[in-house]
């Protein structure tokens, strides 16, 4: 990708990153006011800031003159001045002022400009060929902006490869052990897993009809004034989109009743590689109940903070420490059925990275979830997703 | 060694480790109750725990499924459950429960099981082919369990290759400089050094008859009510066994009298490589006098702590820092006569490691020390060792 | 260089160091009394100390026996004893006492002896072939010892390659941005830069006649009772000598008047590589005014400490962090005219390092600055330097 040539990262361990893809650069409110915000994304040094009209932009963070970081510079209106020798770069990446003798600006005086799309609470960045950046390829997280929903969220700096986190999320059976007594749910273990692949999307769906309310959900139902002793249909639909975006649609409803009569949430998971062994993991919980209740906000914030920071993160970081610089696949891990979804995601991603040399671009599946589920042998009465 | 293949360590610097050998995994009381104790031994991740009947066992610490560390798991009776996805492994290394659909257990679902022998205060681990593990090959440290002896001991985490510590112990002339005024002893410098090799054992013996009491021993004799001004026979017999176990038999007795009339101690030294540049060094002092006196315990504890932690450790770590990733032999060190014993140990170890490919197994020398000494030209009236 | 063979450093990143050259080992007062002072210079472990007669000497810091650092040893008169096994080395590097049996001293029992010259406040060390060490090749910093001058100085431990600091100093245009409001000076930007090369010296001279007093100088003039509103001639003459010594002669004087009627200082900059990514940067400010005024000492100390520690150092270390192990030249930086001087210095140094294999020795330019300036098209009325 010639756009990155002047800010070339160190040679990556393993198989590298999918370049022609949308990553999450930041939650939108990580970039505010006049701030110059530095982020390393797939080893690329990136500078994020907002123009005077509020538009967020992303350019390379290293001045092409002597590779001083622009985030140590200052704003000049919508431009950024390197504070080492004073070159000024516009939001399009080109040098717009060379304060030195003559002020000549050569074509090489530029930094990469990364396509950036603000959509709801997220800033999406395209690290590949700008000509291929198509906002229609951004995975659908419409739940973030749907009317009547409330989102809590966080960022977790994790010392592990992002695919180890993908594995974690695509195999929810880990909840019964790692999150025992909190997020664990008998339904996860007894339900059947159905993996579906379309384009650069993988679904790992579990559907558990006519069962007991799993323990963890009892207090949620009680809080909502619902009967925790009734029989329920319980669903967990996890969607993964390359390179590392996941949406879990999870909840339960009285047997045979639509989801609106039950309790459900969406959880979003956005994995942005810093490098081969470090990931910024942004997570969210989106709910449609008690949306004005700060106590419920706090409940979810504390629950997820605990589950991720105290339970998942140390385990995943321990995996990474054991692996060191080795890719897990090279160690021939023993497989269980629950690994199927994670394995498919790894295959899809490997194929996309390999295909990139031939100009292929990842494209999320477009079939709506209800149609996918209707095709499924697993679920006779699919619970329809909300978008 | 196929046993380690699924928990393969990173490629080792230098010439690697002797695999078919007994290392010290831990002092026996490092592993108590229901605890899951993680140790890295020759870069192998090892889990130590005790079964309900008290038997200590050692298995690989990484679950073969996704390489999560089992020491983050929990006990299930005599078994251990990985807390990431719930596989349970028995003390023999095999998976005994797969909680996932069908519960199928494939032959690959296992971790290495390391032969482990508890002998006195030590847990000995065999890192090589279990079929070759022979407890008879464990070097003799009978002094630890001999009646009428008292042991104080410690563990020192040292940022240096274990062979640099072997060098230190096999050349006690360093005491006159590094331990000046504490462990130093004129006899070490003026005595003759005799190096003897048998099997995988090397002896570095010093014998200094009919001399003054070295300064450091005067306070010990006085404490015992013995005359510090008498002439004494003084001995230092150091035995090394591959890969890194040393026993020093050191003391003095009235001229021509048996050791029982004098003052002596054994010191044990067990060097367990964590990796090429880090060693867990376990040491002990075994004495047969004042064995119920906590003040004497404290004296020895403080003396050795000071000598090792304040004097030896910084010097050896400084050596390692100067060497970096280089093996000391490649830098052509200048030799002095006192290096002979350490050099022989290095040769023996190198030969053992090279021989391992041909299936050779290290075997400690079996000739009793008194017979060895009787053959010696150095000592006309050998002081007999206690076992 | 056979002198360093026994204390061989790890393989250097990049193109290595100029060996046959004078580096600054320390400010003279870093080495006092009986102290054994360790410094790493171009990856060589060096021991500095003063003999009883006050003469400073430099020898290799690693004992050739087991590579224990001599700086952990002790003085024996003018000699140094390794405290691991007791070998004693003289100021000439040879072993003078082997305390072990027989006391035989072999020719290999020696450490490198580095030519060391104390000149004014500096200890200069020659890292190459001692036979080529010629004190006449030490760059001229006579200002340090000139009568009627006062020096303040410091040391800054910088996590960056020394050539990045050279770049910084040879392109003073950075002052307008990085030191805005303190060391910045309009004259730097509007003046013409003239680069001159002679031998292993590069000059980067700026001459700005008949202009306003730059803001930063106003308070200095006022402090001296001079009129800050008069028109002045302003000069900045920066001299670089391989491998990393710089002298800035900077000041201003009433138009057409000699420098003695104006205000000027010399600043010295001595860059000693620790390794490819760490530099000890010793700096000085030499002035001929208010030389007995501790307030002026404090003013300069605080000004330079702030400029270097708070402004330059973070920027240069950020450059190094962005570069990682890569040489900046391999990333094809975009050039501006102000880079010419730094580029010439890099070329001269690269040529000197390459030439060293053919036995060439760096030799500073010998033409006095006034003669150089007289040849210059830039300055019609050169301001003469003081030596």
What is the 3-state secondary structure of B302-331?
HHHHHHHHHHHHHHHHHHHHHHCCCCHHHH
Nearest 10 degrees: CA dihedral of A153, A157, A162, A165? -60
Task: Give the minimum alpha-carbon distance from C11 to chain B in angstroms, rounded to a whole number.
Answer: 11
Q: For residue C8, list chain B residues with Cβ-Cβ distance below 8 A.
A: 331
Is pLDDT of B270 > 90? yes
Q: Identify the pLDDT of residue C32.
A: 97
C351 touches chain B (CB under 8 A): no
Given CB atoms, is A333 within the 8 Å cutoff of chain B?
A: yes
Share of residues in chain C with pLDDT > 90 (%): 66
Q: How confident is the model at residue B49 (pLDDT cuts 50, 70, 90)?
A: very high
Residue C74, chain B, CB below 8 Å: the answer is no
Instruction: Compare A15 and C341 and report the one with higher pLDDT.
Output: C341
Helices B313-323, B162-170: axis angle to 10 degrees equals 130
Nearest neighbour of A323 by CB, restricted to B65, B67, B87: B67
Nearest-Cα distance to chain C for A64, in Å, is 6
**Interface contact B74, partner A, CB < 8 A:** no
> pLDDT grade, residue C2 (50/70/90)?
very low
The beta-carbon neighbor of B83 closest among A177, A334, A335 is A177
> Mean pLDDT across the stretch B354-380?
79
The answer for residues whose C-beta is within 8 angstroms of residue C351's C-beta and 6 or more apart is none
- Which whole number is the average pLDDT over C277-295? 94
Contacts of C82 in chain B (CB under 8 A): 177
Q: Is the pLDDT of residue C78 over 80?
A: yes
Q: Which of A140-149, B364-373, C116-125, C253-262 has the highest mean pLDDT?
A: C116-125
Concatenating the DSSP letter of every residue in B66-96 gives T--BGGGSEEETTEEE-TTT--EE-TTSBEE
Q: How would DSSP label each residue in C116-168?
A: EEEETTEEEEE-S-GGG--GGGS---GGGT-TT-EEEEEEEEESS-HHHHHHH
With a cut of 50, list the residues of chain A below it in pLDDT. Answer: 1-13, 380-382, 384-387
Q: What is the pLDDT of residues A282-322, one digit of tens each?
A: 999 999 888 999 999 998 999 899 999 999 999 999 999 99
pLDDT given at position A5: 37
Both structure tokens of A129: 């060929």
Among A240-249, B29-38, B365-374, C280-289, name the one with the lowest average pLDDT: B365-374
Is the predicted pLDDT of residue C22 greater than 60, yes or no? yes
**Is pLDDT at C10 greater than 70 in this prediction?**
no
Contact residues, chain A, for B99 at CB < 8 Å: 176, 189
DSSP helix/strand/coil, A374: helix
Q: Is B13 on the interface with C (CB under 8 A)?
A: no
* Adjacent-strand bridge partners of B197: B202
Q: What are phi and psi of C163, to 5 degrees?
A: -70, -25
pLDDT value, residue B5: 37
Q: Chain C neighbours among B 140-179 (CB < 8 Å)?
A: 167, 171, 173-174, 176-178
Does C250 contact B at CB distance below 8 Å?
no
What pLDDT score does B378 carry? 57
pLDDT value, residue C380: 47
Q: What is the pLDDT of residue C12?
A: 44
CA distance A169 to A163: 10
Confidence of residue B82 (pLDDT cuts 50, 70, 90): very high
Q: Which comes out higher in pLDDT, residue B210 or B170?
A: B170
The mean pLDDT of chain C is: 89
Per-residue pLDDT of C121-140, as tens digits, reads: 999 999 999 999 999 999 99
- C127 shares contact with chain B (CB less than 8 Å): no
Residues of C in contact with B315 (CB under 8 A): 68, 72, 83-84
| Span C312-336, pLDDT tens digits | 999 999 999 999 999 999 999 999 8
Record: contact C6-B332, CB cut-off 8 A: yes
- The answer, yes or no, to whether residue C192 has pLDDT greater than 70, is yes
Q: Looking at the complex, does the CB of residue B189 fall below 8 Å from at least one CB of chain C?
A: yes
Q: CB count, 10 Å around CB of A302? A: 11
- The predicted pLDDT at position C11 comes to 40
- Identify which of A167, A324, A337 has the shortest CB distance to residue B100: A337
Q: Over 70: is that where the pLDDT of C6 sits?
A: no
Percent of chain B topping pLDDT 70: 93
Among the partner-chain residues B174, B324, B325, the one whose CB lies closest to the CB of C85 is B174
| B82 close to A (CB below 8 A) | yes
| Res A188: pLDDT | 75
- Using the Cβ of C102 and the Cβ atoms of chain A, whether some distance falls under 8 Å is answered with no
Of the partner residues B193, B315, B325, the one whose CB lies closest to the CB of residue C72: B315
pLDDT at residue B379, rounded to an integer: 52
Contact of B98 with chain A, judged by CB distance below 8 Å, is answered with: yes
Identity of the residue in C189, C318, C336 whose CB atom sits nearest the CB atom of A68: C318
Task: Tell whether the model's pLDDT for residue C109 goes beyond 50.
Answer: yes
> C14 pLDDT exceeds 90?
no
Q: What is the pLDDT of residue B14?
A: 53
Residue B153: pLDDT over 70? yes
Residue of B62, B82, B109 with shortest CB distance to A322: B62
CB within 8 Å: B322 and C67: yes
Give the lowest-confidence range in A134-138, A185-189, B105-109, B316-320.
Answer: A185-189
Whether the CB of C376 is below 8 Å from some CB of chain A: the reply is no
Pairwise CA distance, residues A49 & B122, whole Å: 61
Say whether pLDDT at B19 is over 90. yes
For A331, counting Cβ atoms within 10 Å of its Cβ (0-12 exposed, 13-18 middle, 19+ buried), the class is middle
Comparing alpha-carbon positions, the chain C residue that sits nearest to A4 is C331
Question: In whole numbers, what is the pLDDT of chain B averaged over residues?
Answer: 89
C91 pLDDT more than 90? yes
List the single range of B76-90, B203-217, C147-161, C180-194 with lowest mean pLDDT: C180-194
Q: Assess contact for A233 and A244: CB atoms under 8 A.
A: no
């Amino acid at each position: 990708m010639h756009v990155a040539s002047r800010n070339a990262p160190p040679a990556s361990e393993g198989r590298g990153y999918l370049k022609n893809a949308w990553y999450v650069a930041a939650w939108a409110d990580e970039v505010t006011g006049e701030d110059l915000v530095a982020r390393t994304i797939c080893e690329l040094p990136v500078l994020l800031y907002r123009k005077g009209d509020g538009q967020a932009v992303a350019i390379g963070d290293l001045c092409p003159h002597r590779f001083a970081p622009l985030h140590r510079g200052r704003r000049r209106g919508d431009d950024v001045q390197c504070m080492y020798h004073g070159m000024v770069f516009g939001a399009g990446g080109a040098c717009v002022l060379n304060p030195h003798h003559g002020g000549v600006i050569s074509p090489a005086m530029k930094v990469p400009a990364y396509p950036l799309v603000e959509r709801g609470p997220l800033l999406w960045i395209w690290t590949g060929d700008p000509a291929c950046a198509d906002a229609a390829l951004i995975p659908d997280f419409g739940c973030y902006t749907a009317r009547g929903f409330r989102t809590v969220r966080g960022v977790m700096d994790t010392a592990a490869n992002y695919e180890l986190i993908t594995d974690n999320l695509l195999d929810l059976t880990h909840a019964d052990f790692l999150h025992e007594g909190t997020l664990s749910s008998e339904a996860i273990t007894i339900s059947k897993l159905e993996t579906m692949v379309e384009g650069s999307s993988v679904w790992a769906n579990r559907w558990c009809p006519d069962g007991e309310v799993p323990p963890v959900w009892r207090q949620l139902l009680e809080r909502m004034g619902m009967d925790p002793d009734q029989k329920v249909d319980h669903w967990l639909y996890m969607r993964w989109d390359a390179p590392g975006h996941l949406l879990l649609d999870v909840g339960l409803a009285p047997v045979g009743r639509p989801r609106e009569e039950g309790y459900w949430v969406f959880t979003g998971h956005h994995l942005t590689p810093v490098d081969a062994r470090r990931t910024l993991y942004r997570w969210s919980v989106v709910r449609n109940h008690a949306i004005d209740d700060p106590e419920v906000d706090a409940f979810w914030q504390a629950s997820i903070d605990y589950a991720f920071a105290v339970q998942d993160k140390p385990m995943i970081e321990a995996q990474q420490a054991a692996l060191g610089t080795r890719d897990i696949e090279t160690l021939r891990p023993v497989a269980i059925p629950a690994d199927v979804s994670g394995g498919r995601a790894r295959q899809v991603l490997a194929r996309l990275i390999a295909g990139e040399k031939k100009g292929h671009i990842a494209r999320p599946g477009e079939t709506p979830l209800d149609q996918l589920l209707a095709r499924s042998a697993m679920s006779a009465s699919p619970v329809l997703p909300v978008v």
